[in-house]
Amino acid sequence: MSAAAAVVRGLGGALPERVVTNHHLSTIMDTTDEWIRRRTGIAERRHSAEAESTSVLATTAARRALASAGVNSVGLLIVATSTPDKVCPATAPRVAANLGLHGIAAFDVSAVCSGFVYALATATWAIASGAVNSALVIGADTFTRLLDPSDRTTSVIFGDGAGAAYLSAGTVDEPGAVLASTLHSDGDGETLIHVPRTAGAFFEMQGKEVFTQAVSAMSESVKTVLASVGWEAAEVDSLIAHQANLRILNTVASVTGIPGSKAEVHLDRVGNTSAASIPLAMTDAGTKGHRSPGDKVVLTAFGGGTTWGAIAMTWPTISVVDPH
């Protein structure tokens, strides 16, 4: 009999209606489409309206993930976000109630851009322990609400959105099985990516240092999970790295030895959506139809905290709805 594993069986994404193009940004700040594309690889991103809060986007993504899996209940719901609807309480109970899932365990994970990897690993542990049989893991952020609208270095990068995965107990042989994970943090880097605790403060990021640390941390994490599952870098079918910057994706591929053509690219259409970026990129890969069940997939992220990690899994047998 095959070993037990948590298996991804559904994916879903949700994006705000409003598309903000590079051209639009060039009319309100000192930047150009060419500069943004060259520095980041981003062409457009979505900005949430007041009614499109983190919980609203998370709920839509979760509904689509449940529909994708063909189920309507779950034992555990985790929302990875650093832009919760309210500082207190958590957003996850609101999302669970929106889905009609009153009474289930529901909590938030705050690991900024690494949030989805943290939450997915946590759900995997919960299922592996036997505490729950199924889980919804949602990455949802409305980062544009934290930004200084006049700061061209952050305004061009971030967008809003949500992505979700449904997992349930199964075996390592099933497509979608989560096979290995590694999570890390270093609080000495807390000011690299943060919102200072002063009235009216905006989000701040030390771009160059983040770039350097992100590449090193994600590359090491990827190597760790590859060693855990015994895969060579060259046999990875899909590298789904946090969609922060196209040049970070390419450099991580280069350092790990995973062919650059295997890196999923979704940031061109949505920018950096923080905790939502990996599940949205997974959903996008699903809608493009270039993944096959059982493909070797590596997820990796680096974010505020600092936090970082990686997950090795196989591509699930699923059909997904295009959130665009």
Partner 1 sequence: MEITALDVVDAIRSTMDELSPMGPDDSFADLDIDSLSLVEAAVILSNKFGVRVDEFELADAGTARAAAGLISGKLTLQPVS
Show which residues are catalytic: 113, 242, 272
CA 73, CA 96: separation in Å to the nearest integer? 10
* Shortest Cβ 255–partner 1 spacing (Å): 5
- Alpha-carbon separation of residue 79 from 24, 102, 235, 260, 262 (angstroms): 31, 15, 32, 30, 28
Instruction: Kindly state whether residue 92 participates in binding partner 1, applying the rule CB under 8 A.
Output: no
Which residue number, 123 or 214, has a Cβ lying nearer to partner 1?
Answer: 214
Paired tokens of 100: 């009609």
And the tokens for 64?
A: 């689509």
Closest to 279 in 3D by CA, of 126, 66, 73, 117: 117
- Cβ distance to partner 1 smaller for residue 254 or 287: 254
The contact pattern for partner 1, residues 27-66, with x = CB under 8 A and - = no contact, is -----------xx---------------------------
216 near partner 1, rule: CB under 8 A: yes
DSSP element (H, E) containing 117: helix 115-129
- Return the C-alpha torsion angle 8, 238, 162, 214, nearest 10: 120
State the minimum distance, in angstroms, from the CB of residue 206 to partner 1: 11
For residues 76 and 108, the answer to whether their CB atoms sit within 8 Å is: no
Stretch that binds partner 1, among 63-71, 181-189, 208-216, 230-238 (CB under 8 A): 208-216
Look up residue 252 and give its two tokens. Answer: 């991580």
Q: Is 18 in the site for partner 1 (CB under 8 A)?
A: no
Residue among 153, 165, 158, 93 at smallest CA distance from 123: 165
CB of 194 to partner 1, least distance (A): 20
CB of 63 to partner 1, least distance (A): 39
Shortest Å, Cβ 138 to partner 1: 32
Are 57 and 142 in contact by the 8 Å Cβ rule? The answer is yes
Can residue 153 be called a binding residue for partner 1 (CB under 8 A)? no
Q: Is 219 in the site for partner 1 (CB under 8 A)?
A: yes
- Other beta carbons within 10 angstroms of residue 259's beta carbon come to 15
Cβ nearer to partner 1, comparing 238 with 251 = 251
Which residues make Cβ contacts (< 8 Å) with residue 50, sequence separation at least 6?
none
| Contacts with partner 1, 229-268, as mask; x by CB under 8 A | ------------------x--xx--xx-------------
Q: Residue numbers of the site for partner 1 (CB under 8 A)?
A: 38-39, 208, 211-212, 215-216, 219, 247, 250-251, 254-255
